[in-house]
Amino acid sequence: MTHTSRLARVMRRFLRREEGSILIETVLTLPVLWWAAFSLFMFWDGFQTVNSLQKATYTVADIVSRNRSNLSSTDAEGLSDLLDFLTAGEAAPRLRMTSIQYDEDQDLYSVLWSCSLDASALPPLDNGTLQGMADRLPINADGATLLVVQTEQDFKPVLKLGIDAMTMREEVIVRPRFVSVLGFTDPANCT
């Protein structure tokens, strides 16, 4: 038997053997499976944060729209506490409520009052910043008011697997249901 035929026979025998293939497959696939499982958890955590913030914002906007009397800074603190209770995540959400009125002659909205309990992170709206978001505001009747409820919450993922830290934002625009203009008794105490 020649040296090359022996080598060919050894190679054929080696290629037919299957011992240890499960170990090699496990070593190759296990890191990918772990990465996929942790990534799915991270995306789910981000989705849960956005989803709970959205539902909580709609809840707060609905409560504000149903109010029959003027709001106060105490009401705003209570709504902020409710928002905190309804949202998922470690960071406390921030709330800004604004009442705006449309002027058809000038074709612009103006701020009647704006309340933000965390003015450094989410400052109260003024007429200048309101005009920057005019394209997101619905068409309204002359003199009619709208309530703009905006929330934001910081999201920091537990692991760095494709999602960076970010701020989730939600905005709901509603009409007051039972009064034409919803007032605010002490907007200066709101910040």
Q: Look at residue 130 and tell me if it is in a domain.
A: yes
- Which range, of 8-22, 62-76, 98-112, averages the lowest pLDDT? 8-22
Q: Look at residue 144 and tell me if it is in a domain.
A: yes
For residue range 108-117, what is the model confidence (pLDDT) as tens digits?
899 999 999 8
Taking the complete model, does pTM exceed 0.85, yes or no? no
Q: Look at residue 24 and tell me if it is in a domain.
A: yes
CA dihedral of residues 49, 51, 52, 56 (deg, nearest 10): 130
- 78/82 Cα distance (integer angstroms): 6
The total of structural domains in the chain comes to 1
Q: Please report the pLDDT score of residue 109 as a whole number.
A: 92
Question: What mean pLDDT is predicted for residues 90-104?
Answer: 93
Q: Please report the pLDDT score of residue 97 as a whole number.
A: 95
Q: Look at residue 12 and tell me if it is in a domain.
A: no
Q: Look at residue 6 and tell me if it is in a domain.
A: no
Which CA distances in Å does 59 have to 22, 63, 83, 143, 174? 53, 6, 8, 26, 11
Residues 6+ apart with CB under 8 A from 2: none
Domain that holds residue 83: 20-189
Q: Look at residue 101 and tell me if it is in a domain.
A: yes
- 147/125 Cα distance (integer angstroms): 12
Q: What are φ and ψ of residue 166, in 5° steps?
A: -155, 170
For residue range 128-159, what is the model confidence (pLDDT) as tens digits?
999 889 889 998 889 999 999 999 999 988 87
Under the banding of pLDDT at 50, 70 and 90, the label for residue 191 is low
Q: Look at residue 10 and tell me if it is in a domain.
A: no
8 Å CB contact between 102 and 140: yes
The average confidence (pLDDT) of the chain is 88
Q: Look at residue 104 and tell me if it is in a domain.
A: yes
The residue ranking higher by pLDDT, 25 or 81, is: 81
For residue range 58-91, what is the model confidence (pLDDT) as tens digits?
999 999 999 999 999 999 999 999 999 999 878 8
For residue range 30-52, what is the model confidence (pLDDT) as tens digits?
999 988 888 888 888 888 999 99
